[in-house]
Copies of this chain bind each other. A is one copy, B any other.
């Protein structure tokens, strides 16, 4: 695993995916070592008067040959806005890699990835890594969104396995929320592991389903962070062993350890 480092990464490309999502590919000046899906970066945003602290983003992909890291960023406020507006060639100051990744499944296991919003970022990285390593794992991905316009990266998931979707307005896939999809509602026992990342209510609903049928389940949390590497104790979540830091003990947690 790669040690934590602070580096200026150069924006190689900045692609707008839809109204408010951008994909940034960042060139690292140092050799990237192994980074686990689920790990994240913490980015400094100097060109805004309201971004004193860094902004955390999941790692969306690593290209060890090009030596690049990709981020999948939704423009929700000043920090993400400056980042999604960064032109190619400019540098961004990044602390990475932070936190722990998802646990790998065993051979032949069937796994279900349940994502919503920018929560698909670490899940897609995970799916691609599993695929790349040629592990004999059966990957199913369930992506939920409000409308079909908000669904992203279905094709990318499709390259790694089966894809399902739900939309609240029924414009694509099953109408409703992810928990209304048969994969979660009826067939969950058929999976060995469920991994989820997205809005907290979604993850809680997925966790409840998994707990009900006693299926292994990991979720990736997004608590507000001040440092991102375990020194401030601001990002805690309540676990069966007390307050734990989302940044260093997580962001990936087994739901057995959470007090949900």
Interface residues of A (CB under 8 A from B): 46-49, 51-52
Q: Which residues of B contact A46 (CB under 8 A)?
A: 48-49
**Chain multiplicity (copies):** 2
Residue of B nearest to A52 (CB): B49
Contacting residues, chain B, for A47 (C-beta < 8 A)? 47-48
Which B-chain residue is minimally distant from A50 (CB atoms)? B49
Contacts of A52 in B (CB 8 A): 49
Question: Which label, helix, strand, loop or mixed, suits the secondary structure of the A interface?
Answer: loop
Chain B residues near A48 (CB, 8 Å)? 46-47, 49
Q: How far is the CB of A112 from chain B (nearest CB, A)?
A: 43
> A82 — nearest CB in chain B belongs to which residue?
B47
A47 smallest CB distance to B (angstroms):
4
> Which residues of chain B have C-beta atoms less than 8 A from A49's C-beta?
46, 48-49, 51-52
Chain B: which residue is nearest A46 at the CB level?
A: B49
Q: In whole angstroms, how far apart are the Cα atoms of A203 and B49 in the complex?
A: 36
Chain B residues, CB < 8 A from A51:
49
Q: How far is the CA of A49 from the CA of B52 in the complex (A)?
A: 8
Cβ of A48 to closest chain B Cβ, rounded Å: 7
In the bound complex, what is the Cα–Cα distance between A51 and B47 (angstroms)? Answer: 11
CA distance A209 to B158 in the complex (A): 83
Q: Tell me the bound Cα distance from A47 to B81 in angstroms.
A: 12
Expressed in whole angstroms, the Cα–Cα distance for A51 and B49 within the complex equals: 8
Shortest Cβ distance from A47 into B: residue: B47
A47 to B50 Cα, complex, angstroms: 10
Indicate the member of A46, A49, A52 with the most B CB atoms within 10 Å: A49
4 additional contacts (CB under 8 A) given A46-B48, A47-B48, A48-B49: A46-B49, A47-B47, A49-B51, A49-B52
Cα A47 to Cα B78 with chains together (Å): 11
Cα A49 to Cα B47 with chains together (Å): 7
Distance, CA A47 to CA B48, complexed state (A) = 5
Complex A-B: 8 CB contacts under 8 Å: A46-B48, A46-B49, A47-B47, A47-B48, A48-B49, A49-B49, A49-B51, A49-B52
Q: How far is the CA of A48 from the CA of B47 in the complex (A)?
A: 5
